[in-house]
Copies of this chain bind each other. A is one copy, B any other.
Amino acid sequence: MKSYYTIKDVAKKAGVSIATVSRVFNDSPFVNEETRKRISKIANELNYTPNLLARGLMLKKTDTLGVILPDLYGDFFSEVIKGIDEIARKKGYHILVASTHSHKSEIESILKVMRSGRVDGLIIMSPHIDSNSIRNFLPDNMPAVLLNCFGDYSTLTSITIDNFNGAKMMIRHLIKHGHKNIAIIKGVEGNYDAEERLRGYRKALKESSITESPRYLLNGEFTEESGYMAMKKISSIRPRPTAVFASNDSMAIGAIRAAHELGIKIPVDIAIAGFDDVPISKYIKPSLSSVHVPIFDLGRFAANKLIEKIEKGDKMKHEKMVLNTTLMVRESCGCL
């Protein structure tokens, strides 16, 4: 007994040519109803399904989307994937995922694999500035959608989150409630989201003629731990800031933990705000004011756009899409 059957086996058993079997599996109208039934029955018995590699080789179509992300873990990425998956499955595509850890060499090797006939198109998120070179590694016939990347790639479709305005709104909000000494815990250096959020912070300060103080600029790595460390430092800055804007929620949560340990009351002593609006932010105490990011949509839009590009051909004009962010005011900023 063979461990798997091919179109030939089915054809032989049904006493027809492989062409006819192929027709059956491709819903060709030109096949006799009885023949069709007989072939279907035999295929079923043999548990036969067409080999997708062979089919892909012929058709130059794999019904697969390549998804390249910096990491696969955490609320953010997993929600992006879920969004992509939802659309993909709905439209009959599968997804091949890979994480780069923002390493240039990883990106290149992944791209090499992905472009070698295995996927019909690519969704790439590479917020790190070094990974800019991605473009050069993309065969220019390969449909692609870029997520949260630097640069204005007029040649590529890209979708970004409105980091800049999100941060600006949040800082404006803090200023409106009387804060003047506002510290920021920055994100990873050279990261698109981090830079844009910083830019928003600066813009809001400038608007209100508040001079930016370098002492209020803390480094962070987008991790809980780095937020914790930053808050420890902040506690000894004089004059002590009355508000802290963490460039993402993980860091905000770390900052809150540090504050707890230091006996600093939030939001009474210091107001804290984050960015991303991860699910947890509602549940921590105090609940975290944050900037909501439509992550799920990001994934869905990306998948939709990509599939559109794949199916309409690349003559589709390239576009840049920006997703709105919204303010989520909760307890930690002290305005409730």
Contact = CB atoms under 8 A, between A and B. Distances in A.
A28 interface: no
Q: How many of these chains are in the complex?
A: 2
Contact of A94 (B4, B49, B96): B96
A261 B98 CA distance: 42
Interface in A66-111: 71-75, 77-79, 81-82, 85, 89, 94-99, 106
Interface of A: 3-4, 47, 49-54, 56-57, 62, 64, 71-75, 77-79, 81-82, 85, 89, 94-99, 106, 112-113, 115-118, 139-141, 253, 256-257, 280, 283-285
Given A52-B117, A284-B283, A4 B85 contact: no
Contacts of A285: 284-285
Nearest to A256: B283
A75 B79 CA distance: 10
Given A95-B96, A283-B257, A72 B51 contact: no
A120 B272 CA distance: 49
Per CB-CB distance, the 4 closest pairs between chain A and chain B, nearest first, are: A285-B285, A78-B78, A3-B141, A73-B82
A96 B88 CA distance: 13
Nearest to A280: B280
Given A4-B139, A81-B97, A257-B283, 7 more contacts: A52-B113, A53-B56, A53-B57, A72-B82, A78-B81, A95-B96, A285-B285
Contact of A117 (B47, B53, B71, B79): B53
Given A283-B280, A283-B284, A75 B75 contact: yes
Given A73-B82, A74-B78, A82-B71, A52 B280 contact: no
16 contacts: A50-B116, A51-B116, A51-B117, A52-B116, A53-B56, A53-B116, A64-B96, A73-B78, A75-B75, A77-B78, A85-B98, A94-B96, A94-B113, A95-B98, A253-B283, A284-B285
Contacts of A72: 78, 81-82, 85
A257 B284 CA distance: 10
A100 to B, nearest CB: 10
Given A53-B57, A75-B75, A283-B280, A85 B97 contact: yes
A286 to B, nearest CB: 9
